[in-house]
């Protein structure tokens, strides 16, 4: 298991089948351009990969405000239905918590 930011177009596209389980209205052709557009306002994709393939994905953004100071907001968090109950979601949340600090 490896957790990292999906940065290249190929890495982002590989996250699509996982994200589609949470957001079934999305289509593959527009997924990478939509993620790239959201990146302009701080959105990032982190993914858990097993044998090189994403099994869990989190879309998130880090912000700062007067009320809370620095914070990390999770927009999307999903694990492939076939890969649930293996601790991938918890591992991803732990990674996000460390990323935020």
C-alpha to C-alpha distance for 8 and 80, rounded to whole angstroms: 21
Looking at residue 6, the DSSP 8-state letter turns out to be -
pTM above 0.75, yes or no: yes
Looking at residue 8, the DSSP 8-state letter turns out to be S
Distance of CA 83 to the CA centre of its chain: 16
pLDDT reported for residue 101: 84
User: What is the architecture, at CATH level 2, of domain 2-100?
Assistant: 3-Layer(aba) Sandwich (3.40)
Q: What is the mean pLDDT of residues 19-40?
A: 97
Q: What is the mean pLDDT of residues 45-73?
A: 96
Domain residue ranges in the chain: 2-100
């Amino acid at each position: 298991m490896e957790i990292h930011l999906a940065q290249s177009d190929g890495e982002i596209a590989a996250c699509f089948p996982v994200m589609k389980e949470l957001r079934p209205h999305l289509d593959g052709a527009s997924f990478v351009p939509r993620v790239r557009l959201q990146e302009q306002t701080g959105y990032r994709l982190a993914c858990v990969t097993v044998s090189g393939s994403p099994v869990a994905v989190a879309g998130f953004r880090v912000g700062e405000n007067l009320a809370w100071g620095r914070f990390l907001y999770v927009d999307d968090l999903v694990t492939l239905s076939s890969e649930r109950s293996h601790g991938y979601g918890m591992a991803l949340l732990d990674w996000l918590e460390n990323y935020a600090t």
